Structure 1
Amino acid sequence: MNSGELLERSLAYALGSVATVPPGSLRRATPCARWNLGELLGHLDDALDALHEGLTGGRIGLFPAAEGRADPACDFRRRACALLGAWVALPGEGRSVTVGDRPLDVRVMAATGAVEIAVHGWDVAQACGRPRPIPSGLAAELLSVAQCVVGDEDRGVRFAEPVGVLSRADASDRLVAFLGRDSFSGRGWSAFRE
């Protein structure tokens, strides 16, 4: 798996979801119970900023800088382009990024970021009432990454418990279910967590 390609494909998918955000919709509920659509887009923007910071400065701070956002969807598009540019300009393999005080291989950072970006892209599409499954090949690769980086200690804190899926569920549904989202049930979003 090429982390840069995975990141690029996740950004392309999420950009497609952000393109469906209608004007005046930032207060809509999302599958992330703690956030409305505007807050979710702000979180996505913060994630892109952190990834960009890691690629260009070799370090990611633990606390994002708070800033006002006039148009979070536009901010996301702008930062997505900057992030792709930073990835392309990245010199060579074997580079690490410091997160807090711990080193992390830049490829692991990119793959983990790709999971977050694509799944939150899915959340955005759900909130906009225009559900878009994550493309099957991308979702299958992201699921293998998520299974490596999301542990039991993340459940109830960053992610809800996995949701059961039918054996015939596609890769997109298996991925979002693993991260605590239910694409099949009629339950309200109060059952979801970020």
Structure 2
Amino acid sequence: MSTAATTPVELADQLTRAARNLLAHATERELNGKRELPTPCAEFNVHQLCEHLLGTMVMSTHAATKRPLPADAPLTLTDAPWRAYPPVVDKLVAAWSKPEAWEGETPFGPNTCPALFAGMVTVMELTVHGWDLAQATGQPFKAEDDVVATAAAVAAQIAEGARANGAFGVELTPAPDASALERLLAFTGRSSIG
């Protein structure tokens, strides 16, 4: 599926599924007692990755509503992810469910960018870091092909900068029979832990 032809309604649905998929991997059963475990992101343990994801979702929610991130935005985990995430995901999904969220320019972190780009980056972050979290905690991870296609499209757009700042690793060579998700992970330099 070409993301150029993907409508805001379809993108909102992809973002919703990516966010709900993250929730499914951030349960008490899966995360309790695992906060110090390493993740495929060398700079993050499980707790730090969960905090990064919280910040991404809060920032993205404000981007969808075209409001800059307030100084007191809740960007640190003061509760366990399985308790902190559900209301944050609900707000994120509600904000991006409005077609106008995907239109025009929006503040996104320290920059302003097209809202469409901000939403697509959110799909990518939830998908790739969702996989990171699943890997770190020994969970299987799946993502639908249309979600992966959107994530891959935006990953290709930001790859040069993402590799320069360490967000992406060196591109790996996927297996010839790799799935779309496995190709995305290889492109972002992800490999299993250990």
TM-score bracket, normalised by the shorter chain, equals 0.7 to 0.9
**Secondary structure at 1:151's aligned position in 2?**
helix
Give the conservation status (yes or no) of the 8 Å contact 2:148–2:180. yes
Task: Give the number of aligned pairs.
Answer: 184
Equivalent in the alignment of 2:21: 13
* Larger relative contact order (CA 8 Å, sep ≥ 6): 1
Give the conservation status (yes or no) of the 8 Å contact 1:28–1:36. yes
Cα pair distance change 1:102/1:73, threshold 3 Å: same
Cα pair distance change 1:70/1:86, threshold 3 Å: same
Structure 2 unmatched runs, 5+: 1-5
Give the conservation status (yes or no) of the 8 Å contact 2:128–2:185. yes
Identity of aligned residues (%): 24
Equivalent in the alignment of 1:145: 154
Higher helix share: 2
Q: RMSD of the alignment, in Å?
A: 2.5
Equivalent in the alignment of 1:192: none
Give the conservation status (yes or no) of the 8 Å contact 1:41–1:73. no
Q: 1:175 aligns with which of 176, 180, 184?
A: 184
**Counterpart check, 1:107 vs 2:116:** yes
Q: 2:37 aligns with which of 25, 28, 33?
A: 28
Residues of 2 paired with 1:163 and 1:62: CA distance?
38
**Counterpart check, 1:154 vs 2:162:** yes
Structure 1 unmatched runs, 5+: 189-194
Equivalent in the alignment of 1:55: 64
Give the conservation status (yes or no) of the 8 Å contact 1:11–1:80. yes
Cα pair distance change 1:166/1:48, threshold 3 Å: same
For residues 111-156 of structure 1, the C-alpha deviation after alignment (integer angstroms, 9 at most, x for no partner) is 11110011111111111111213233322332122112x2323214
